[in-house]
Amino acid sequence: MTRPTSLLALTRRGLSHASSPRAALSLAPRTHLRQPKPQSQIHTTTTTTTTNPRQNNLTITSRTTPSRPNRLSPSTRTYHSDHHPTQPHDYTNSQTTILSAALHHVPTHGFSRNALTLGARDAGFLDVSVQLLPRGEFDLILFWLASRRGLLRSKVESDGLFSAGPVLSVDDKIQILLMERLRMNAEVKDQWQDALAVMSLGENIPLSLSELHALADDILNLAGDKSVDASWYSKRMAVAAVYAASDFVMTRDTSAGLRETEEFVARRWADARAVGDKLTGVRECLGFMGSTAVGLGRSWGLKI
């Protein structure tokens, strides 16, 4: 099944942009992953001399790639174990390469098809290989979110964000992690409102919320939260709500070092805590009254 468009693009352009992909991104391409089954294979060595060894086994799949993940990454939701590590995203090797290269064009070109195409060229892929990413620019946004989430984890686990300095409470750690994550978005601050608009499109909302949940889950896990009851849900909702609100504030923040955003996060988190404390107090009060009533009844000889 040879695709005429890809051949055309190949001869017309001749892979002029053959710079090697920069390794500035934290996520190295996964080598152990299954490659999508190639339906048409083009060896670029037949048409042009190349200095990039990756191009020798360049494969291009058609639009219906079998490996397209339905959910963002089902493995991030289930059982975690040090013996069975999980990846922050489910993109394949070539997808990760294109997306990583495309992220360098985001500050100038935004989260757009244009950035994807330029990234594909940088990585030594053909223009058509953007088809590897069926969701287009939304894939770029999702990859940004997932890779920044992985970066946040490595900041704590590898760089020791909390290991130096005084012992912090879980609440302090949550605020620090929220700010760390928001500072990463500051790199693309001017493009971020567009990205938020794309995320809020109807068909993209489920995956966006799934990614937001994954971020809240990671932040609470990294902060050392060990809740195993209904507060598991309320805490994740609180973190997600604070992050989403602060994300908007960050795009309009012009202060040095995102100071206004930092104050906003602190205020919102204090609010969330106040609500939580109030609810806990009400519940404890009701429980106390209930047990008092039962104890009183028993002391009167009722068989309750």
Binding site residues, other proteins, CB under 8 A: 74-75, 77-84, 217, 221, 226-230, 232-233, 298, 303-304
Our CB check for other proteins shows the closer of 62 and 234 to be 234
Angle between helices 170-186 and 231-251 (to 10 degrees): 30
State the Cα–Cα distance between residues 16 and 251, nearest whole angstrom: 36
Query: CB pairs under 8 A, 24+ apart, for 167-174?
Result: 170/223, 170/224, 170/225, 171/269, 171/273, 173/222, 173/223, 173/224, 174/219, 174/220, 174/223, 174/225, 174/239, 174/269
Enclosing H/E stretch for 41: strand 40-41
Our CB check for other proteins shows the closer of 66 and 165 to be 66
Distance in Å, CB of 169 to other proteins, minimum? 17
Distance in Å, CB of 10 to other proteins, minimum? 37
Enclosing H/E stretch for 189: helix 189-199
Our CB check for other proteins shows the closer of 40 and 291 to be 291
Distance in Å, CB of 83 to other proteins, minimum? 4
Our CB check for other proteins shows the closer of 50 and 231 to be 231
Our CB check for other proteins shows the closer of 67 and 221 to be 221
Distance in Å, CB of 86 to other proteins, minimum? 9
Whether the Cβ atoms of residue 103 and residue 47 lie closer than 8 Å to each other: no
Distance in Å, CB of 71 to other proteins, minimum? 11
Our CB check for other proteins shows the closer of 6 and 73 to be 73
Dihedral sign of CA atoms 75, 197, 249, 141 in order: positive
State the Cα–Cα distance between residues 72 and 192, nearest whole angstrom: 20
Cα-based angle 88, 218, 264 (whole degrees, multiple of 5): 125
Distance in Å, CB of 229 to other proteins, minimum? 5
Query: Looking at the DSSP assignment, which residues form a beta bridge with residue 41?
Result: 59
Token pair 């339906």: residue:
39
Our CB check for other proteins shows the closer of 24 and 230 to be 230
Distance in Å, CB of 84 to other proteins, minimum? 5
Other Cβ atoms less than 10 A from the Cβ of 170: the count is 14
